[in-house]
Structure 1
């Protein structure tokens, strides 16, 4: 099964020293098991974090460590086209 792509808005702040970044949109590429392969976090202040096979974590966070499908949430409403994910993945930013 091919990878799937999702975008989900989080209307909560981080609750840590980077709380001032604000709310965020999260983009995921997941395998057929729901485990993130690549992930992009875009914060309201413009901060962008990217995680994937070549960069799995840093001082700000890291690639998801659980299957999205194990959350019990229905992710079908958040599915996006691969081209939308790639646009965000390849965009200029940090």
Structure 2
């Protein structure tokens, strides 16, 4: 498994724009498919997605392969990911 982040320095463009900017956390498998995803917003709101819960009214699980190079993010440990999970 791979664990990494991406900082999104733009606000949402919907009714939740007041949540602020966000940091995204990803768990991907050996084929770079996102298995779990966490988005933490500036106001503290957190949303989580898995293969079992792929979407809700706030967003959804990333589709297709994703690598840290695609995100220009930082590698994090499995432990750090699961502290947020």
What is the aligned counterpart of 2:78 among 72, 79, 82? Answer: 82
Given that 2:5 and 2:71 are in contact with CA atoms closer than 8 Å, whether structure 1 keeps it comes out as no
The structure with the greater share of residues assigned to helix is 1
Structure 1 segments of 4+ aligned residues over 2 angstroms from their partners: 71-75
Which of 54, 59, 62 in structure 1 is aligned with 2:60? 62
Q: Matched residue pairs, number?
A: 85
Q: Extract unaligned runs of 5+ from structure 1.
A: 90-94
Q: TM-score normalized by structure 1?
A: 0.81
CA RMSD of aligned residues (A): 1.8
TM (normalized to structure 2)? Answer: 0.89
Structure 2 gap ranges (5+)? none
Q: Which has the higher contact order (CA 8 A, sep 6+)?
A: 2
